[in-house]
Amino acid sequence: MIAAAAWVCLLAPLAAVLAIALAGNRLSRCASGYLATGSTVVSFVAAVTALVAMLGHSAGDRSRVTTAFGLIETHAFSIKLALLVDPLALVMMLVVSGVGSLIVAYSIGYMKGEDEERRYFAYIAFFVFSMLLLVEAANFFILLVGWGLVGLSPIC
Protein backbone atom coordinates (compact mmCIF):
# COMPACT_ATOMS: atom_id res chain seq x y z
CA MET A 1 0.00 0.00 0.00
CA ILE A 2 2.75 2.45 0.98
CA ALA A 3 4.91 1.52 -2.00
CA ALA A 4 2.04 1.83 -4.48
CA ALA A 5 1.07 5.22 -3.05
CA ALA A 6 4.68 6.42 -3.35
CA TRP A 7 4.82 5.44 -7.03
CA VAL A 8 1.44 7.04 -7.76
CA CYS A 9 2.56 10.21 -5.97
CA LEU A 10 5.70 10.33 -8.09
CA LEU A 11 4.31 9.33 -11.47
CA ALA A 12 1.04 11.31 -11.59
CA PRO A 13 2.72 14.64 -12.47
CA LEU A 14 4.94 12.88 -15.01
CA ALA A 15 1.85 11.41 -16.66
CA ALA A 16 0.40 14.93 -16.93
CA VAL A 17 3.63 16.21 -18.50
CA LEU A 18 3.55 13.45 -21.11
CA ALA A 19 -0.16 13.92 -21.80
CA ILE A 20 0.18 17.69 -22.26
CA ALA A 21 3.29 17.33 -24.41
CA LEU A 22 1.89 14.57 -26.61
CA ALA A 23 -1.55 16.16 -27.03
CA GLY A 24 -0.09 19.47 -28.20
CA ASN A 25 -2.71 21.82 -29.62
CA ARG A 26 -5.42 19.14 -29.47
CA LEU A 27 -5.63 19.85 -25.74
CA SER A 28 -7.13 23.22 -24.91
CA ARG A 29 -5.08 25.64 -22.87
CA CYS A 30 -7.54 25.50 -19.99
CA ALA A 31 -7.66 21.69 -20.09
CA SER A 32 -3.89 21.53 -19.74
CA GLY A 33 -4.19 23.54 -16.53
CA TYR A 34 -6.87 21.25 -15.17
CA LEU A 35 -4.83 18.19 -16.13
CA ALA A 36 -1.73 19.50 -14.35
CA THR A 37 -3.80 20.47 -11.31
CA GLY A 38 -5.51 17.10 -11.24
CA SER A 39 -2.20 15.27 -11.39
CA THR A 40 -0.77 17.20 -8.45
CA VAL A 41 -3.97 16.63 -6.47
CA VAL A 42 -3.66 12.90 -7.20
CA SER A 43 -0.08 13.12 -5.91
CA PHE A 44 -1.27 14.79 -2.73
CA VAL A 45 -4.00 12.19 -2.18
CA ALA A 46 -1.43 9.41 -2.71
CA ALA A 47 0.90 11.07 -0.18
CA VAL A 48 -1.94 11.30 2.36
CA THR A 49 -2.75 7.63 1.69
CA ALA A 50 0.89 6.69 2.32
CA LEU A 51 0.87 8.74 5.53
CA VAL A 52 -2.27 7.05 6.83
CA ALA A 53 -0.86 3.63 5.96
CA MET A 54 2.45 4.53 7.63
CA LEU A 55 0.73 5.64 10.84
CA GLY A 56 -0.58 2.10 11.27
CA HIS A 57 2.96 0.81 11.78
CA SER A 58 5.14 1.00 14.88
CA ALA A 59 7.70 3.80 15.11
CA GLY A 60 10.59 1.47 14.32
CA ASP A 61 8.85 0.07 11.23
CA ARG A 62 8.08 3.31 9.39
CA SER A 63 10.61 3.10 6.59
CA ARG A 64 9.97 1.42 3.25
CA VAL A 65 12.18 1.06 0.18
CA THR A 66 10.46 0.08 -3.05
CA THR A 67 12.47 -0.83 -6.13
CA ALA A 68 11.19 -0.77 -9.71
CA PHE A 69 14.26 -2.26 -11.40
CA GLY A 70 18.04 -2.23 -11.37
CA LEU A 71 19.69 0.32 -13.64
CA ILE A 72 23.25 -0.95 -13.26
CA GLU A 73 24.05 -4.16 -11.43
CA THR A 74 27.41 -5.85 -11.10
CA HIS A 75 28.81 -8.10 -8.42
CA ALA A 76 30.30 -5.11 -6.54
CA PHE A 77 28.08 -2.20 -7.56
CA SER A 78 24.35 -1.64 -7.91
CA ILE A 79 22.20 1.34 -8.88
CA LYS A 80 18.45 0.79 -8.69
CA LEU A 81 15.42 2.92 -9.46
CA ALA A 82 14.18 2.85 -5.89
CA LEU A 83 12.07 5.08 -3.69
CA LEU A 84 12.39 5.55 0.06
CA VAL A 85 9.29 6.34 2.06
CA ASP A 86 9.97 7.30 5.65
CA PRO A 87 8.47 9.99 7.91
CA LEU A 88 10.73 12.76 6.55
CA ALA A 89 10.04 11.81 2.93
CA LEU A 90 6.31 11.69 3.68
CA VAL A 91 6.32 15.20 5.13
CA MET A 92 8.16 16.49 2.08
CA MET A 93 5.84 14.58 -0.28
CA LEU A 94 2.87 16.26 1.40
CA VAL A 95 4.46 19.70 1.22
CA VAL A 96 5.60 19.41 -2.41
CA SER A 97 2.37 17.93 -3.74
CA GLY A 98 0.08 20.03 -1.53
CA VAL A 99 1.73 23.38 -2.20
CA GLY A 100 2.26 22.37 -5.84
CA SER A 101 -1.47 21.69 -6.18
CA LEU A 102 -2.32 25.11 -4.80
CA ILE A 103 0.18 26.85 -7.07
CA VAL A 104 -0.98 25.04 -10.20
CA ALA A 105 -4.66 25.65 -9.34
CA TYR A 106 -3.98 29.37 -8.82
CA SER A 107 -2.06 29.48 -12.10
CA ILE A 108 -5.12 28.46 -14.13
CA GLY A 109 -6.66 31.88 -13.59
CA TYR A 110 -3.37 33.75 -13.53
CA MET A 111 -2.18 32.37 -16.86
CA LYS A 112 -5.56 32.70 -18.61
CA GLY A 113 -5.08 34.13 -22.09
CA GLU A 114 -1.31 33.68 -22.21
CA ASP A 115 0.15 32.20 -25.38
CA GLU A 116 2.25 29.52 -23.70
CA GLU A 117 -0.20 28.15 -21.15
CA ARG A 118 0.26 24.54 -22.20
CA ARG A 119 4.03 24.76 -21.95
CA TYR A 120 3.81 26.46 -18.55
CA PHE A 121 1.57 23.73 -17.11
CA ALA A 122 3.75 20.97 -18.53
CA TYR A 123 6.84 22.60 -17.00
CA ILE A 124 5.29 23.14 -13.60
CA ALA A 125 4.07 19.52 -13.50
CA PHE A 126 7.59 18.46 -14.50
CA PHE A 127 8.97 20.55 -11.64
CA VAL A 128 6.63 18.85 -9.15
CA PHE A 129 7.70 15.44 -10.51
CA SER A 130 11.36 16.41 -10.16
CA MET A 131 10.91 17.60 -6.59
CA LEU A 132 9.08 14.40 -5.68
CA LEU A 133 11.85 12.33 -7.23
CA LEU A 134 14.37 14.29 -5.18
CA VAL A 135 12.56 13.77 -1.86
CA GLU A 136 11.69 10.10 -2.48
CA ALA A 137 15.13 9.03 -3.72
CA ALA A 138 16.39 5.85 -2.05
CA ASN A 139 19.96 6.20 -3.30
CA PHE A 140 22.43 8.90 -4.16
CA PHE A 141 22.19 8.41 -7.93
CA ILE A 142 18.41 8.94 -8.01
CA LEU A 143 18.83 11.92 -5.69
CA LEU A 144 21.30 13.48 -8.15
CA VAL A 145 18.93 12.79 -11.06
CA GLY A 146 16.10 14.49 -9.16
CA TRP A 147 18.34 17.41 -8.26
CA GLY A 148 19.44 17.80 -11.87
CA LEU A 149 15.85 17.69 -13.13
CA VAL A 150 14.81 20.33 -10.57
CA GLY A 151 17.61 22.54 -11.90
CA LEU A 152 16.58 21.81 -15.47
CA SER A 153 12.90 22.64 -14.93
CA PRO A 154 13.15 26.47 -14.95
CA ILE A 155 15.24 26.63 -18.13
CA CYS A 156 13.08 24.31 -20.25
Question: What tens digit of pLDDT does each residue of 17-75 get?
Answer: 999 999 988 888 888 999 999 999 999 999 999 999 999 888 788 788 887 776 777 77
pLDDT at 38: 96
pLDDT at 80: 83
Query: Is pTM, for the whole model, over 0.75?
Result: yes
Q: 25: phi > 0 → left, psi -120 to 50 → alpha, else beta; which?
A: alpha
| pLDDT, the chain, mean | 89
- Give alpha helix (H) positions in the chain: 2-23, 29-55, 87-110, 117-136, 140-152
Task: Examine the pLDDT at 78 and tell me if it is beyond 60.
Answer: yes
Domain count for the chain, please give it: 1
Judged by DSSP in three states, 72 sits in strand
pLDDT at 104: 93
pLDDT at 155: 66
Model confidence pLDDT, tens digit, residues 90-114: 999 999 999 999 999 999 888 887 7
Angle, vertex CA 10, rays to CA 93 and CA 23, nearest 5: 130
Question: What is the average per-residue pLDDT within 142-156?
Answer: 86
Residues 119, 135 contacting (CB under 8 angstroms): no
For residues 71 and 115, what is the distance between their CA atoms, to the nearest angstrom?
39
What range does the domain containing 47 cover? 2-155
Task: Examine the pLDDT at 156 and tell me if it is beyond 70.
Answer: no
For residues 44 and 50, what is the distance between their CA atoms, to the nearest angstrom?
10
Residues 122, 17 contacting (CB under 8 angstroms): yes
CA dist 123 to 70, 129, 130, 152, 155, Å?
28, 10, 10, 10, 9
